[in-house]
Amino acid sequence: MIELNELIDAAQKAFPADQLSPARDASWQLVAEMGWLMIRVPEDDGGLGLGREASTAIHFEMGRVLASMPLIPAQLGLQAVIASPDLPDRASWIERLSAGEYAPLHMLPTKLTCTSDGLVSGTISGVFDADLAIAVVAKLPDAYALVPMDAAGVSIVERPAWDTSRRLFDVVLDGYQPDPSHILAKGDAEVRALHDTLSPEAHLALAADCLGGAAAALDMSVEYTKMRKQFDRPLAMFQALKHRAADLKTRIVAAEALLWNRVRDEEATVAQMGALKALAADVYQFVTEEAIQFHGGIGLTDEHPCHLFMKRAMLNLQLCGSSDLWKERTGREALASLA
Amino acid sequence: MASDTHLEGLRAEVRNWLVANAPKGWREARTHQDFFKSQRAWFLKLVEGGYAIPHWPAEWPGGGRSLAEQKVIYEELAAADAPRLLLSFVSTFHAFSTLEECGTEEQKKRYMPRILEGETWCQGFSEPNAGSDLAALKCKAERISRPDGDVYVINGQKVWSTMAQYADKCLLLVRTSSDGVKQAGITYLLMDMKAPGVSVRPIHQIQHDEEFAEIFLDNVEIPVSERVGEEGAGWAVAQATLASERGLTLMELSYRLRGSLYRVAKLIRDHGHENDQGILRDFGTLVTQVDSVCALADQFLNNRINGIERIGDASNVKNSYSRALRAYSLLGVRLGGMDEQYIAPITFGDLNTGNWMADYMNSYAWTIAGGSEEVQRNIIAERMLEMPREPKGWVL
C-alpha cells in the first residue's frame, strides 16, 4: 500500500491539479521517464510487474487533470503485445513500448474489408494520437494485429473532436497487406481470448479516468459555489445547490467503491467490468452536466475549464463498447446466474 | 488485529452453526404476533450460540468481538438468509450503547441481563414537531420530591417509535428546561412502558403495516434513578445512542438486497422478458447499482476496522442504499404489472418480500427514518464538501 501512495504522490507532483490538460508531448516524455509505461509489464518481461491497483490509481489521477497524453491506449497496446506469446520479436516490442515508443490499442469497432488476396481496406476510426504512434493494435478481419504506421497503404487523418484533451485520428488502410510477423491473435478463439484479456483492463482504466474526472469536476464546482456570491451570500449556502452537490458526491463515492472492489476481484466477468465502466461513465456525464449548471454562464465560456470535463465524459461514454450493451449483458448474465 | 486465518476460522464456525440453527420459513409470518414470536426465538437462539451481541464487551457471553469479527458474523447471517434481528435492534444496539457509555453501574447490572433475556426496547425520541430537528422536542418533565425518592413527571407525545406497542422499556428524551439553547434542556430517561399514564397507539401505515406507534404520556412518573447522565445532558447521551451502530446494519442490508435480486430475475422469467433488451438493460443497471452499494458499505466498514472514518461517510452509504432499495422495488412494481396493483397480504420480518407495492412503500423508511435523506445531504454538503451553513436566527 505504501508503494501505491508513493505512486499517487508522484503522479500528483508530476501532474499538479491546477494544470489541466498539460501539453501532450512533454507529458508523454514525463510518463516515459517516470516508468509508467512499464508499470503493468511483468518483471519477467523487464517491467515493474505491478498490478491493477497501480495502473488504476494512475489513471484516476490522470483523469483528474484531463491528461492529454495517451497513457490508457498505450498501456492496453502494450498489454496486447504481452498477452501474445507467439508474436515474433515480442521481447523487442515490449522493450521499445516500455521505453516510450507508442502503439495504442484501438478501442472502438472497425469497419474493414479484406479482398481475396488478403489486402485490407477501410478506416480504423478514433485512434488516439496516431501521429505519435509507430503502430496501432487493431482488430483486422479475423485477427488482432500491430499495423505499422509506416507500412504501405497506411495513412492517418486527424479528426478534431469536441474533447480537446484527446487527439483522435482515422487510420486509413488502402490495400494494406497484413504482415504475418505482426499478428497478435488469429482465428475466433484467439481473438476472443485476447479481447477478453484486454477488455477488463480497458474498462478499469476508463472507469478510473471517469471517476478521477468526476471528482475533479465536483471539486471545481463546489469551490466555485463557495466563491461566487449572489443575493449577498455565497451560492454554496443555498440548500438547493448543497443537496445536488451532495448527491453527486454520493454517486461518485459509490462508483469509486465498486471500481476498487473490481480492481481486486479476479472473478469479475468481462460484462461486470463493462458495467462498471458504464456506471462510471454515466456518473462522469451527470457530474459534468451538473458542473456546468453550477457554474452558470461562466460554464458556457470557452475560457473556463468546466466544459473540458463534460467533453471528455461524453467521449469516454463511447469508448470500449456502448453502455447499453454492457448493461444488457450484465442483466443477461445476472439473470442466468440467479436461476 | 485479527489475522485472516482467524477470521476465516470464525467464518466457517458461524456458517456451520447457521446451517444447523438458522430458522426456515420465517418470512411466512402473517401477523405481528407470529413475527414477534419468531424474532424472539431467533434472538434467544443467537444469544445461546454466541452471535447475538458480538459488539458487547467480552464480559458478556458472545461479546468482545472486534469490528472485523462482527463484520464476518453479519456477512454470514446475510449469506445464510437468516432473519434480521429487528425486534432486538433497539435493545442490543441503542439501549446497550447508551448504558455502556453513559449508564451507572447499577443501571447496567439491572438492564443488560434483561436485554439478553429478550426484553424489548423502543425509542422515544421523535415528536410531532421534532423530527429532523430533534432538539426541538417538547415532551415535558418536571422533577417532584417524593418520600421514597424524587421522580420526573412526564407529559407529552412521542411518535414514529418502532414496535413500541410490544416494548417493555423506552429510551426517552424529555425537556427538563427551556433555558438557553434548545439542546441544553434535554434529559435522557429509561421508561417502563407498563407505567401508569403510558398509552400506545399503533400508526396505520400506507403499506398496511403498523410498524410504528405513537406514545402518549399523561403524568407518567419515572424515578430519578432511571435517568441516564446528568439532568440537561440528554443531548450528549442521545449521541451515544445514535452512534451505536457502526455500519453493520447497512452492510447487512446491502448484502441482503443483493441476495434479493433473484426476485427480480424471477419476475423477468415469469413474464417472458428473458430476451427483452430494454428490461435486461434496466436489470443490469440495477445489479450494478446494488453491487456498488455493497462495495461502498464494505469499504466503509473496512475503513472503520482500520480506524478511518470521515464525517459524511455513513451518510453516503445510507443514501446510496436507500436509493438502490427504491430502484429495486420500483423495477419489481413495473415488471409485476397489473398484478401488483391488487392488494395482497403483507408478510413481516423482511424488507424485500416480493409484495412489490408493499416493498416500494416500505423503501421510504430508509429515505425518511434514521436521519432523512435530506439531513444526510446536509451532512455531506456541509461537513464533507465544506459548503457553509445558512446563518441562524431566521424568524417567521
Mean pLDDT throughout B172-178?
97
Q: What is the pLDDT of residue B2?
A: 55
CB contact A247 to B (< 8 Å)? yes
Mean pLDDT throughout A286-297?
98
**pLDDT, tens digit, for every residue of B315-366?**
999 999 999 999 999 999 999 999 999 999 888 877 788 999 999 999 999 9
| Residues in A touching B316 (Cβ below 8 Å) | 249-250, 253-254
List the 207-236 stretch of A: residues with Cβ below 8 A of B.
222, 225-226, 234, 236
Among A74, A99, A124, residue at a domain's last position: A99
> Taking a C-beta distance cutoff of 8 angstroms, is the pair A245, A287 a contact?
no
Mean pLDDT throughout B69-74?
94
**Domain-located, residue A34:** yes
On whether both A144 and A36 belong to a single domain, the answer is no
Q: For the purposes of burial, counting CB atoms within 10 Å of the CB of B386, is it exposed (0-12), middle (13-18) or buried (19 or more)?
A: exposed
CB contact A335 to B (< 8 Å)? yes
The domain spans of chain B are: 4-87, 121-234, 248-384
Q: Could B288 and A279 be called an inter-chain contact, meaning their C-beta atoms sit closer than 8 Å?
A: yes
Higher pLDDT, B391 or A240: A240
Query: How far is it, in rounded angstroms, from Cα B341 to Cα B331?
Result: 14
Among A72, A99, A126, residue at a domain's last position: A99
On whether both A145 and A269 belong to a single domain, the answer is no
Q: Could B284 and A329 be called an inter-chain contact, meaning their C-beta atoms sit closer than 8 Å?
A: yes
Q: What is the pLDDT of residue A296?
A: 96
**Domain-located, residue A277:** yes
Q: What is the pLDDT of residue B383?
A: 95
Closest CB from A226, A246, A327 relative to B285: A327
**pLDDT, tens digit, for every residue of A218-243?**
999 999 999 999 999 999 999 999 99
pLDDT band at B4 (very low <50, low <70, confident <90, very high): confident
Q: Could you give the strand order of the β-sheet that contains A120-128, starting from the edge strand earlier in sequence?
A: A111-114, A120-128, A168-176, A154-158
Mean pLDDT throughout A105-120?
93
For residues A275, A281, A282, A283, the Cα torsion angle rounded to the nearest 10 degrees is 110
Chain B residue at shortest CA distance from A277: B288
pLDDT at residue A12 tops 70: yes
DSSP letter at A38? G
User: Can you name the CATH fold of B248-384?
Assistant: Butyryl-CoA Dehydrogenase, subunit A; domain 3 (1.20.140)
Burial letters B195-216, b for 16+ CB under 10 A, else e: eeebebebeebebebebbbbbe
On whether both A135 and A8 belong to a single domain, the answer is no
Total number of domains constituting chain A = 3
**pLDDT, tens digit, for every residue of B361-386?**
999 999 998 889 999 999 999 999 99
**Domain-located, residue A106:** no
Q: Could A276 and B293 be called an inter-chain contact, meaning their C-beta atoms sit closer than 8 Å?
A: no
The domain in which residue A255 lies consists of 189-337
pLDDT at residue B40 tops 80: yes
On whether both A178 and A193 belong to a single domain, the answer is no
Chain A residue at shortest CA distance from B385: A222
List Cβ neighbours of B167 (8 Å cut-off, separation of 6 or more): B90, B120, B121, B122, B161, B193
On whether both A41 and A124 belong to a single domain, the answer is no
Q: CATH classification of B121-234 is 1.20.5.510, yes or no?
A: no
Q: What is the pLDDT of residue B29?
A: 81
Closest CB from B266, B283, B296 relative to A331: B283
On whether both A214 and A136 belong to a single domain, the answer is no
Q: What is the pLDDT of residue B388?
A: 97
Q: What is the pLDDT of residue A322?
A: 92
Among A186, A218, A233, residue at a domain's last position: A186
pLDDT at residue B296 tops 90: yes
Which CATH number fits the domain that encloses residue A275? 1.20.140.10
List the 289-318 stretch of B: residues with Cβ below 8 A of A.
289, 291-293, 295-296, 298-299, 312, 315-316
pLDDT at residue A142 tops 50: yes
Nearest to A118 by CA among A190, A185, A191, A179: A179
On whether both A94 and A17 belong to a single domain, the answer is yes
Chain A nearest CA to B379, separation (Å): 8
CB contact A185 to B (< 8 Å)? no
**pLDDT, tens digit, for every residue of B202-253?**
999 999 989 899 999 999 999 999 999 999 999 999 988 887 777 889 999 9
On whether both A166 and A54 belong to a single domain, the answer is no
Tell me how far CA of residue A314 lies from CA of A67, A98, A245, B73, B109, in angstroms: 16, 30, 20, 43, 62
Percent above pLDDT 90 for chain A? 97
On whether both A153 and A267 belong to a single domain, the answer is no
On whether both A158 and A279 belong to a single domain, the answer is no
Q: What is the pLDDT of residue A1?
A: 45
On whether both A61 and A10 belong to a single domain, the answer is yes
CB contact A277 to B (< 8 Å)? no
On whether both A266 and A165 belong to a single domain, the answer is no
Which CATH number fits the domain that encloses residue A54? 1.10.540.10
Cell of A81: 503485445
Nearest to B88 by CA among B116, B126, B61, B111: B116
